[in-house]
Amino acid sequence: MKWTRGQRSENLEDRRGQRAGLGGGRLPLPGGRGGRMGLGGIVLLLAIAYFTGQNPLTLLGAMDSGGGQLPLDPSAEVAMAPVQESAAEAERADFMSFVLDDSQAAWQRLLPNYRDARLVLFRDAVHSGCGGAQAAMGPFYCPADERVYIDLGFFDELSRRFGAPGDFAQAYVLAHEIGHHVQNVTGTERKVRQLQRANPEHENALSVRLELQADCYAGVWAHSTARRDILERGDLQEGLGAAAAVGDDRIQEMSGSAVRPEAFTHGSAEQRMEWFQRGYQSGDPNACDTFQS
């Protein structure tokens, strides 16, 4: 992808020098009413299951029922230290900053009432408006403070363990989380949460539709990059590869489990690629109505 190096967005908060204290409060994870597990959360959940020998679907179910909440002491002091980074990490931070500004500039053109989200870079653990979070959650969006949270180390896992390398795979991750911010701005996120509370038997199906719409919104931004000729050969395939890598069926297969569509929370690899492509081909947010399809 063609991009400008060495610049940091005014909407980027670099908290990599902080060490968040974990203690008493709680943050609900997937399916909860606070922060959302990002598209990468389920990927790292599988990594946890791999090393602990636990079934990732069991872990996910425990989180949905409250058993996977992370402890956090909101009053804990946060240690501050200068950010130390390798040249590769600095370039990755610059790239995330570029994608943040580029994607939000596109949404400012598309939505008259759009307001910018902020991106928080952290290491290991972080305090958010939704509570405390650890890097094992993967990238996530918090509607309470309208921030996307990313530990840059996630992209190493995405590339090495799950076979989704490349800068545009990373761009897709952030564009998907910005897609959740678009849902917050438009009121879709709030309406879906209300429907989930009213119809708990449809909670997973509604979550899938929400996630697929965020994938489509990521494709809408990708369309804008193609029109401006900043995509390079292979970029689209990298984005599609990342979407497929975090499909629920791929996660279940990698865990050694049978594919169970009723347990999906993000959508299959095919669905995720399909909706990303819909957004990419149309460039129109109106083509992203996953709730009527």
How far apart CA 219 and CA 227 sit, in angstroms, is: 12
10-24, 62-76, 167-181: least confidently modelled range: 62-76
Q: Please tell me which residue, 73 or 110, carries the higher pLDDT value.
A: 110
How far apart CA 13 and CA 131 sit, in angstroms, is: 17
How far apart CA 176 and CA 139 sit, in angstroms, is: 10
For the chain, what is the mean pLDDT? 84
Predicted pLDDT of residue 257: 81
* DSSP output for 100-160: HHHHHHHHHHH-TT----EEEE-SSEEEETTEEEEGGG-SEEETTTTEEEE-TTHHHHHHH
Q: Please tell me which residue, 38 or 57, carries the higher pLDDT value.
A: 38
pTM: 0.83
Partnered with residue 149 across adjacent β-strands are: 120, 140
CB 255 within 8 A of CB 278: no
Handedness of CA 182, 188, 193, 194 (dihedral sign): positive
37-41, 149-153, 281-285: least confidently modelled range: 37-41
Q: Please tell me which residue, 131 or 36, carries the higher pLDDT value.
A: 131
Predicted pLDDT of residue 238: 96
Q: Could you tell me the pLDDT band of residue 253, with boundaries at 50, 70 and 90?
A: confident
Instruction: Give me the mean pLDDT over the 200-205 stretch.
Output: 95
How far apart CA 180 and CA 136 sit, in angstroms, is: 19
Predicted pLDDT of residue 115: 98
Residue whose tokens read 């500004």 = 101
| pLDDT exceeds 50 at position 65 | no
Instruction: Using a pLDDT cut of 90, give the percent of the chain over it.
Output: 65
Q: Could you tell me the pLDDT band of residue 167, with boundaries at 50, 70 and 90?
A: very high
Instruction: Give me the mean pLDDT over the 269-285 stretch.
Output: 97
Q: Could you tell me the pLDDT band of residue 252, with boundaries at 50, 70 and 90?
A: confident
Instruction: Give me the mean pLDDT over the 155-165 stretch.
Output: 89
| pLDDT exceeds 70 at position 2 | yes
| pLDDT exceeds 70 at position 281 | yes
Predicted pLDDT of residue 41: 55
How far apart CA 130 and CA 41 sit, in angstroms, is: 16
| pLDDT exceeds 60 at position 68 | no
